[in-house]
Chains A and B, each alone.
Chain A
Amino acid sequence: MAAEIAKPSVSIQDLSLNFGAVSVLQTLNLDVAEGEFIVLLGPSGCGKSTLLNCIAGLLDISEGRIFIKGKNVTWEEPKDRGIGMVFQSYALYPQMTVEKNLSFGLRVAGVPKDEIAKRIARAAEILQIEPLLQRKPSALSGGQRQRVAIGRALVRDVDVFLFDEPLSNLDAKLRAELRVEIKLLHRRLENTMIYVTHDQIEAMTLADRIAVMKGGVIQQLDAPQTIYNRPVNRFVAGFLGSPAMNFLKGRLEKNGDGWSFVADDLKIPLGTYQFDGQPEAGPAVFGIRPEHVSLNSGTGWPFSTAANVEVVEPMGSDTLVWLQLAQQKFSVRVTSERTPKNDDAVTVGFDPMRASLFDAENGSRI
């Protein structure tokens, strides 16, 4: 895991959460630096939203402690934690105008009127929702509603923003727009933000660090590029990246002073591969991303082999070519101009340095 953060903005220590006999989060530790944008990424049911609700104080935890800005907030009410939260369904109060929605929390807290007006003006200016202030949520579009929801967190002047899949209810185009806006907002405010999503593009584009979760456990916490290039296990490798990483089942063998990966009649020398510690001979899984494989580009690669094209999937900007390698499915991403035809004989080449080797049993990186 990454180095210790000296003064974390949010610090989660040994947090566990059980619903009856079901363990949802297991002794989870997470330190978020001041001003950092952390994305909790994982498939549905992995506990990422649950973790966010625990940080917000909307769920009582079973064990552990939560610190926000150095203050132990484990038993605090949500309002006293210095957090603002944005929900997937916007959760705007339908009977109130946008202005009243924004000011609700402040009015509850008894903030003076002129102060409320000032904060709303600022939030409305940042989010460009000034013309909407007197409308009801039902008269807003999805994107506008989500802006208002973000504004509601903004006016509370909090240290930490929590986003619970804020863009999942929007269509693809709006999602891309608001993604950029959230990134700009983070640059402008420099608040700590914790963002839950199952969308890897959102995670890759927004995050300073991504925490990939599965089964209530953080699998890997790292910068997006590190997670992409050096996934710590097969789950992370398969979950990130679209089209998904190729996995070949085979064996790790030692020959002479070098290692190679053998699957069927295929033998991939691993001279350039960086092992995580001492490798052992035995069953293993060889993973490589489709975009790290090249097609018909000479024999200058550390490894190349011949194969036949089975199916071609054009995706606009580029094309996914499916082949058989060692009797297993294998995909290659090529630019549209270089698309081969079905049944073409091609050469596949790649550098094992860009690959990832995983233990066949527990799936961890070798």
Chain B
Amino acid sequence: MVDVASLSAGTEARRRDAAGPSGPRPRHVLSRRNIFLYGTLIVMAVYYLLPLYVMIVTSLKGMPEIRLGNIFSPPVEITFEPWVKAWATACTGLNCDGLSRGFWNSVRITVPSVLLSIAIASVNGYALANWRFKGADTFFVILIVGAFIPYQVMIYPIVIILREIGIYGTLTGLVIVHSIFGMPILTLLFRNYFTSMPEELFRAARVDGAGFWGIYLRIMLPMSLPIFVVAIILQVTGIWNDFLFGVVYTRPDTYPMTVQLNNIVNSVQGVKEYNVNMAATILTGLVPLIVYFISGKLFVRGIAAGAVKG
């Protein structure tokens, strides 16, 4: 029998004697690759962050300081006056209660639109993916084609439809419009996600006796948190940022935040209050920003889950 101790000692000696490379390859921090990679990343980050920096800095300055014209210099006297004014007292048309009115309008538009559109689209996607009814493909194609028709074409007909129904200018009308226009992309999203789920799962549930709603609520829903997060983010940011539908389908007292922001920034009379404008813009953009920060990780995971399985 071979002596185990001497065998391992021999291996040890061989390892020490070896002149060639061994173990992990050394990495140089300042290699050309790293400089190039991080250099590009930093330049891109600065490019996108600089405007935000200018906005924040300007919004914290008083008007005299702004008139000096050094837009990159940090504020000498920090003031929150512009933020308060933008939120509470800035005038748009007849109303002088700032963006607050628009903010609550936007909330009242976004929340029901998001819930309604996602609820309908997820059922749509589920039906298209799992219950292959006759004409499902045709229906799907029509829905997708709908996504490519420019909104401008549909604006006026929808105005007439809403007027005839009697909900033109109300928040309800806008909620319905948002829900309908979210349908193609959301249905596509959900359909692809549900298609990527193993079909045998669906079959097993059918053998177990679950019906259309049973399978949707008890099997599919609990498995699709990632895609719901993606849909919520898409819809919240999309509807919150919408300007076109907001300006067309609402009246001044029901304007969403974006329309109000435009009215503040683009008002022609008086001095241009850059600091108030900047503060108002940041306030308006805050909601999508917060949504991204909170759900960023889930968002990426959801997109990736769809991508890998789809």
| Residues from 154 to 206 in B contacting A, C-beta threshold 8 Å | 198, 200-201, 203-206
Q: Is residue B207 contacting chain A, with contact meaning CB distance below 8 A?
A: yes
| Residues from 198 to 244 in B contacting A, C-beta threshold 8 Å | 198, 200-201, 203-210, 214, 218-219, 222-223
| Residues from 237 to 270 in A contacting B, C-beta threshold 8 Å | none
Q: Is residue A79 contacting chain B, with contact meaning CB distance below 8 A?
A: yes
- Select A91's contact among B198, B210, B218, B223, beta carbons within 8 Å: B198
**Nearest-CB residue, chain B, relative to A56:** B207
Q: Is residue A93 contacting chain B, with contact meaning CB distance below 8 A?
A: yes
Known A-B contacts A95-B222, A95-B223; the reply to A78 vs B198 at CB < 8 A is no
Min distance, Cβ A65 to any Cβ of chain B, angstroms: 20
Interface of B is mostly: helix
Min distance, Cβ A184 to any Cβ of chain B, angstroms: 23
Chain B residues whose CB sits within 8 angstroms of the CB of A85 once the complex forms: 203-204, 207
Q: Is residue A108 contacting chain B, with contact meaning CB distance below 8 A?
A: yes
CB-CB contacts of A97-129 with B at 8 A, as 1s and 0s? 000000011001100000000000000000000
Chain B residues whose CB sits within 8 angstroms of the CB of A149 once the complex forms: 204
Question: Are A91's CB and B204's CB within 8 A?
Answer: yes
Bound CA span A265–B248, Å: 94
Min distance, Cβ B285 to any Cβ of chain A, angstroms: 36
Question: Are A87's CB and B204's CB within 8 A?
Answer: yes
Min distance, Cβ B153 to any Cβ of chain A, angstroms: 36
Bound CA span A78–B209, Å: 7
| Residues from 74 to 95 in A contacting B, C-beta threshold 8 Å | 77-79, 83-85, 87-95
Question: Are A93's CB and B205's CB within 8 A?
Answer: yes
Chain B residues whose CB sits within 8 angstroms of the CB of A90 once the complex forms: 200
Question: Are B206's CB and A93's CB within 8 A?
Answer: no
Chain A residues whose CB sits within 8 angstroms of the CB of B201 once the complex forms: 91, 93
Bound CA span A92–B214, Å: 16
Q: Is residue A58 contacting chain B, with contact meaning CB distance below 8 A?
A: yes
Question: Are B203's CB and A93's CB within 8 A?
Answer: no
Chain B residues whose CB sits within 8 angstroms of the CB of A104 once the complex forms: 205, 208, 210, 218
Question: Are B223's CB and A94's CB within 8 A?
Answer: yes
Bound CA span A95–B209, Å: 18
Q: Is residue A152 contacting chain B, with contact meaning CB distance below 8 A?
A: yes
- Select B203's contact among A84, A87, A95, A105, beta carbons within 8 Å: A87
**Nearest-CB residue, chain A, relative to B209:** A79
Chain B residues whose CB sits within 8 angstroms of the CB of A156 once the complex forms: 208
Chain A residues whose CB sits within 8 angstroms of the CB of B214 once the complex forms: 108
Chain B residues whose CB sits within 8 angstroms of the CB of A105 once the complex forms: 207-210
Min distance, Cβ A28 to any Cβ of chain B, angstroms: 21
Question: Are B207's CB and A108's CB within 8 A?
Answer: no
Chain B residues whose CB sits within 8 angstroms of the CB of A58 once the complex forms: 203, 206-207
Question: Are B207's CB and A93's CB within 8 A?
Answer: no
Chain B residues whose CB sits within 8 angstroms of the CB of A88 once the complex forms: 200
Chain B residues whose CB sits within 8 angstroms of the CB of A93 once the complex forms: 201, 204-205, 219
Bound CA span A94–B201, Å: 9
Known A-B contacts A89-B200, A91-B200, A91-B203; the reply to A108 vs B208 at CB < 8 A is yes
**Residues of A near any B CB (own CB < 8 A):** 53, 56, 58, 77-79, 83-85, 87-95, 104-105, 108-109, 149, 152, 156, 164
**Residues of B near any A CB (own CB < 8 A):** 198, 200-201, 203-210, 214, 218-219, 222-223
A-B contact pairs, 28 of them (CB 8 A): A53-B203, A58-B203, A58-B207, A78-B203, A79-B207, A79-B208, A79-B209, A85-B207, A87-B203, A87-B204, A89-B200, A91-B203, A92-B204, A93-B201, A93-B204, A95-B222, A95-B223, A104-B208, A104-B210, A104-B218, A105-B207, A105-B208, A105-B209, A108-B208, A108-B209, A109-B209, A156-B208, A164-B200
Having A58-B207, A89-B198, one finds 15 other A-B pairs with CB under 8 Å, namely: A56-B207, A77-B206, A79-B208, A79-B209, A85-B204, A88-B200, A91-B200, A91-B203, A92-B204, A93-B201, A93-B204, A95-B222, A104-B205, A109-B209, A152-B208
